[in-house]
């Protein structure tokens, strides 16, 4: 074990871990939202994210930007960032809705058993991922440097860059907005009602199908934002990017308490930081192994996750 590797780099590892964790958290929201309402793990959510990572690359490509472009000025940066976010959100949202309409809704109409949903979820996930793989020849694609990482301020020996700050702030803001939406709006009340008891909600006049579609859409929106942040932070995407990060995001959702929005945020940030600490202490090859061992340990003591399952139980 390399204790000096962890201690000497503690600050920087924490900051980069938080940034990675923020992306995982936004991604995890999709799992948590759908689970909270349908008690279904939407494995195709990783491909909802994947579509976002490619959509913004494609639209940046229309502007003539590729991995070799020079970084744009501040105006261009903001413009491209907003355009990229909008397009990625649309792409991810549409993918999420399409998966719900094509893969899940027909099964729900026929009252299929839960296992059938699980298999279609995995099937939809593999189909989209492999299709992307074939279309891109399984090559990875570099991201244009929309945001040039620049040191913003320094705490002790830890430098925080503009990109890291943007990712973390954006995740927090989106989290807050989503939380307000679910707990404060009319549509949000519908979501909570279906989550608590679908049949009663339907009797009270809540359109269940519309609520379910809304939940998929919301998850897709968050995944779209996560996708743009991922592109900017990692700098590369490829057909299995969603699968890779999807495991982390799913774990984060479970860690925080699946079905619990704030839990997803906590779980994501925690997992991101823990992975970096594990990489510092044991070497990067233990990144996933160590963090997942810890996940199991935490679940042993808190089987419902750190904050418990609570999308439905949140106060009106």
Residues 247-286, one symbol each (x = binds other proteins by CB under 8 A, - = not), give ----------------------------xx--xx--xxx-
Residue of 119, 140, 209, 314 interacting with other proteins (CB under 8 A): 140
The residue (of 116 and 135) whose beta carbon lies closer to other proteins is: 135
**Please, what is the minimum distance in Å from the beta carbon of residue 300 to other proteins?**
25
Residues 93-132, one symbol each (x = binds other proteins by CB under 8 A, - = not), give ----------------------------------------
**Please, what is the minimum distance in Å from the beta carbon of residue 282 to other proteins?**
10
Residue 173 as a binder of other proteins (CB under 8 A): the answer is no
Rounded to whole angstroms, the Cα distance separating 136 from 132 reads 6
Task: Find the binding residues for other proteins in span 181-240 (CB under 8 A).
Answer: 233-236, 238, 240
Residues 66-85, one symbol each (x = binds other proteins by CB under 8 A, - = not), give -xx-----------------
The residue (of 125 and 260) whose beta carbon lies closer to other proteins is: 125
Contact 97, 209 (CB under 8 A): no
Residue of 131, 138, 177, 200 interacting with other proteins (CB under 8 A): 138
Sites of contact with other proteins (CB under 8 A): 5, 8-9, 12-13, 16-17, 19-20, 67-68, 137-142, 144-145, 149, 151, 233-236, 238, 240-241, 244-245, 275-276, 279-280, 283-285, 287-288
């Amino acid at each position: 074990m390399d204790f000096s590797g962890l201690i000497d780099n503690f600050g920087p590892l924490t900051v980069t871990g938080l940034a990675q964790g923020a992306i995982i958290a936004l991604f995890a929201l999709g799992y948590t939202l759908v689970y909270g309402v349908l008690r279904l793990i939407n494995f195709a959510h990783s491909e909802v994210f994947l579509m976002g990572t490619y959509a913004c690359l494609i639209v940046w490509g229309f502007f003539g930007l590729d991995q070799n472009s020079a970084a744009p000025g501040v105006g261009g940066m903001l413009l491209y960032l907003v355009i990229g976010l909008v397009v990625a959100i649309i792409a991810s949202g549409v993918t999420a809705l399409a998966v719900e309409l094509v893969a899940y809704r027909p099964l729900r109409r026929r009252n299929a058993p839960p296992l059938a949903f699980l298999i279609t979820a995995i099937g939809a996930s593999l189909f989209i991922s492999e299709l992307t793989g074939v279309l891109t020849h399984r090559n990875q694609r570099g991201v244009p440097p929309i945001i040039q990482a620049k040191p913003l301020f320094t705490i002790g020996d830890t430098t925080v860059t503009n990109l890291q700050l943007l990712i973390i702030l954006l995740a927090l803001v989106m989290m807050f907005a989503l939380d307000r939406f679910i707990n404060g709006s009319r549509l949000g009340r519908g979501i909570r009602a279906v989550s608590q008891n679908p049949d009663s909600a339907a009797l009270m006049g809540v359109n269940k199908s519309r609520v379910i579609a809304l939940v998929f859409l919301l998850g897709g929106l968050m995944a779209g934002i996560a996708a743009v942040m991922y592109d900017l932070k990692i700098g590369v995407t490829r057909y299995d990017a969603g699968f890779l990060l999807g495991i982390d995001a799913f774990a984060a959702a479970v860690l925080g308490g699946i079905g619990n929005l704030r839990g997803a945020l906590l779980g994501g940030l925690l997992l991101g930081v823990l992975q970096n600490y594990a990489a510092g202490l044991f070497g990067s090859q233990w990144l996933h192994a160590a963090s997942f061992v810890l996940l199991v340990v935490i679940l042993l003591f808190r089987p419902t996750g750190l904050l418990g399952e609570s999308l439905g139980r949140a106060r009106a």
